[in-house]
Amino acid sequence: MEGWIKVYRKLSEKAFYKKDSEKVHLWVHLLIKATHDGREESLGGKPYFCNPGEFTTGRKQLSEQTGISESKIERILINFEKIEQQIKQQKTTSNRLISILNWNEYQINEQQIEQRVNNDRTTTEQRVNTLQECKNERIKEIIIPQIPAEFPAQKQIGEVFITKKKRELKCKRLQTFLIFWNKYNLKKGKAEAADSWLDIPQLTDKLCDIIYKAAESEAKNRIHLESKGLTPIWAQGWLTARRWEDESLQPKEKQKTENSW
């Protein structure tokens, strides 16, 4: 397993940090084991696609990996879920799914950028390469055709500045699109979906969070639709129709405002 994780200094402010080193050990282990870019695993004997911040495991497996007793593993996981509100668990008869809460906020953005750079060196699959696109756009800025001499110099500087700002905004939007794409979990129509994503007006961080949650729900609903032989909704059509608004109108669970890291 390669790559890195971020561990925030606020971890040292947790009550268990001074009293229980095994809790600290297990928390760091959960962060290390969680997938950064999404991967397919098995949950309850069936294929399951883990989104960033998730992984499947078992109490015995965690005990073998960390050296912590199985009974202590179970107590710590319950504490992380019920008291600290750092994780969510979905248990089956054979294993369990662990989801790290607030993963997107604390881990995914920079980690995804690193993953994209590495993937470009090892795969020919169609991907949206955020970093490379940003670099290419900056190169284009340098070779912008010169404005005729009769125009004031400040106009040329102004146009280059505007162009740079637009490209920086596009790069930032493509980063948020990569998060959405992983959550929507559909392998086709990526380029068209990216175009639709760029067309969404006033795409604030708050709106992105709403879309991310709706995309996760749609990905789970799609499994049910496909099991009945129904055609899934392509990401482009889902975005163009603003289907996340349908999801956002449903009753929501009480939001957790305490920083769980």
pLDDT tens string 206-234: 999 999 999 888 888 877 777 777 766 77
pLDDT (mean) for 71-96: 94
User: In this structure, are residues 100 and 30 in contact, taking their beta carbons and an 8 Å threshold?
Assistant: yes
Band of the pLDDT at 195, cuts 50, 70, 90?
Answer: confident
Percent of the chain's residues with pLDDT above 90:
31
- In this predicted structure, the answer to whether residue 90 has a pLDDT above a threshold of 70 is yes
- For 119, phi then psi, to 5°, come to -65, -35
- In this predicted structure, the answer to whether residue 165 has a pLDDT above a threshold of 70 is no
Percent of the chain's residues with pLDDT above 70:
70
Task: Name the residue with higher pLDDT: 213 or 172.
Answer: 213
- Strand 54-57's sheet: what is its strand order? 54-57, 96-100, 87-91
User: In this structure, are residues 63 and 132 in contact, taking their beta carbons and an 8 Å threshold?
Assistant: no
How many CA within 13 A on the CB side of residue 114?
11
**What residues form DSSP beta bridges with 48?**
41
Band of the pLDDT at 146, cuts 50, 70, 90?
Answer: very low
User: In this structure, are residues 101 and 65 in contact, taking their beta carbons and an 8 Å threshold?
Assistant: no
Mean pLDDT of the chain: 77
The pLDDT assigned to 87 comes to 95
The pLDDT assigned to 116 comes to 52
pLDDT (mean) for 172-180: 86
Task: Name the residue with higher pLDDT: 25 or 221.
Answer: 25
**What residues form DSSP beta bridges with 46?**
43
The pLDDT assigned to 194 comes to 86
- In this predicted structure, the answer to whether residue 131 has a pLDDT above a threshold of 80 is no
Task: Name the residue with higher pLDDT: 239 or 119.
Answer: 239
Dist CA 16 CA 13 (whole Å): 8
> Domains of the chain, with CATH numbers?
9-101 (1.10.10.10), 105-248 (no CATH)
Dist CA 128 CA 190 (whole Å): 8
Would you call 22 exposed, middle or buried from its count of C-beta atoms within 10 A (0-12, 13-18, 19+)? middle
The pLDDT assigned to 248 comes to 55
